[in-house]
């Protein structure tokens, strides 16, 4: 099983600042990586797929990068609606696996 | 608009069974793989199972293989999850999710339904 490790577990950021979230895979997943945002009481929302392609309707302040084992989600200028938990997911190999999540909170 | 509405959750007994359903609309159901993803209270996301839209191939997490069965009825645009031999560790919100074609990542998720396993 490919283990996905996200860091940090919690990120405290002020509105308007940049947030950088990390996701590391225990073996290569090529570019078969997706990022999701989840707010309390809501279903997850797809942000990024293919490691760097923005999903439909996602603001351009969200960007993804990386390939192989190391990936980054960057939120260029945090808005109030961006405070949430973010998960990465690899879909290169069965079983599909998610990272443990990074909570982005208001500083 | 894509809509995914889960039903069939609730309280299950340890060792018992529950069957979840997911009614899908707003897209060509048979053209997309579908998945179930669960989230235990206060925890992260855990993939449970997926089924291909193309050939009906099924895939399971080790934690549920042999106990859960995923299936679909393309004529009714409905996804199912038969859960047998339930354990307390299966307590979670279960989300139905639409995959992007035959890619194994979801682009739409249902709100989820709570399954509680307790005596």
pLDDT in tens, A56-79: 999 999 999 999 999 999 999 999
**Exposure letters A33-67 (e unless 16+ CB within 10 A, then b):** bbbbbbeeeebbbbbbbbbbebbeebeeebbbebe
**Exposure letters B6-35 (e unless 16+ CB within 10 A, then b):** bebbeebeeeeebebbbbbeebebeebbbb
Nearest C-alpha of chain B: how many angstroms from A77?
24
CA dihedral sign of residues A47, A53, A58, A61: positive
CA distance B8 to A96: 25
Q: Check residue B118 and give its pLDDT.
A: 96
Other CB atoms within 10 A of residue B60 CB: 20
Strand order from edge to edge, sheet including B78-83: B3-7, B18-25, B78-83, B68-73
Instruction: Please answer yes or no on whether B103 and A49 come within 8 Å at the CB atom.
Output: yes
B88 touches chain A (CB under 8 A): no
Q: Do residues A66 and A60 make contact, with C-beta atoms less than 8 angstroms apart?
A: no
The values of phi and psi at residue B33, to 5°, are -65, 155
pLDDT in tens, A9-60: 999 999 999 999 999 999 999 999 999 999 999 999 999 999 999 999 999 9
Which regions of B13-105 does DSSP assign to beta strands (E)?
18-25, 34-39, 45-51, 58-60, 68-73, 78-83, 92-99
pLDDT mean over B91-103: 96
pLDDT band of residue B91 (cuts 50, 70, 90) is very high
pLDDT mean over A84-97: 97
pLDDT band of residue A80 (cuts 50, 70, 90) is very high
B5 touches chain A (CB under 8 A): no
Q: List the one residue out of B115, B116, B83 whose CA is nearest residue B16.
A: B83
Instruction: Please answer yes or no on whether A91 and B105 come within 8 Å at the CB atom.
Output: yes
Chain A residues with CB under 8 Å of a chain B CB are 1, 34, 36, 38, 42-46, 49, 55-56, 85, 87, 89, 91, 94-101
Q: Check residue B39 and give its pLDDT.
A: 98
pLDDT in tens, B55-64: 999 999 999 9
pLDDT mean over B32-46: 97
Select the residue of B47, B62, B112 nearest A43 (Cβ to Cβ): B112
Select the residue of B60, B107, B112 nearest A55 (Cβ to Cβ): B107
Instruction: Using the structure block, give the residue that is written with the tokens 């603001």.
Output: A59
Say how many CB pairs under 8 Å bridge A and B: 55
Q: Check residue B57 and give its pLDDT.
A: 96
Nearest C-alpha of chain A: how many angstroms from B48?
9
Select the residue of B45, B61, B103 nearest A44 (Cβ to Cβ): B45
Other CB atoms within 10 A of residue B75 CB: 8
């Amino acid at each position: 099983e490919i283990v996905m490790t996200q860091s940090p577990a919690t990120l405290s950021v002020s509105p308007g600042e940049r947030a950088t979230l990390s996701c590391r895979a225990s073996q290569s997943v090529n570019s078969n990586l997706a990022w999701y945002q989840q707010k309390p009481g809501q279903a997850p929302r797809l942000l990024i797929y293919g490691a760097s392609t923005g999903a439909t309707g996602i603001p351009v302040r969200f960007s993804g990068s990386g390939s192989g084992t190391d990936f980054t989600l960057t939120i260029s200028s945090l808005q109030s609606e961006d405070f949430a938990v973010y998960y990465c997911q690899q879909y290169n190999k069965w079983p599909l696996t998610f990272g443990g999540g990074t909570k982005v909170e208001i500083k | 608009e894509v809509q995914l509405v889960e039903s069939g959750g609730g309280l299950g007994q340890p060792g018992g069974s529950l069957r979840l359903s997911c009614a899908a609309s707003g897209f060509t159901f048979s053209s997309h793989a579908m998945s179930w993803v669960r989230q235990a209270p206060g925890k992260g996301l855990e993939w449970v199972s997926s089924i291909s839209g193309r050939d009906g191939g099924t895939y399971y997490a080790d934690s549920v293989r042999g106990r859960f069965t995923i299936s679909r009825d393309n004529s009714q645009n409905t996804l199912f999850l038969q859960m047998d031999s339930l354990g307390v560790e299966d307590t979670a919100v279960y989300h139905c999710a639409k995959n992007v074609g035959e890619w194994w990542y979801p682009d739409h998720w249902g709100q989820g339904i709570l399954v509680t396993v307790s005596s």
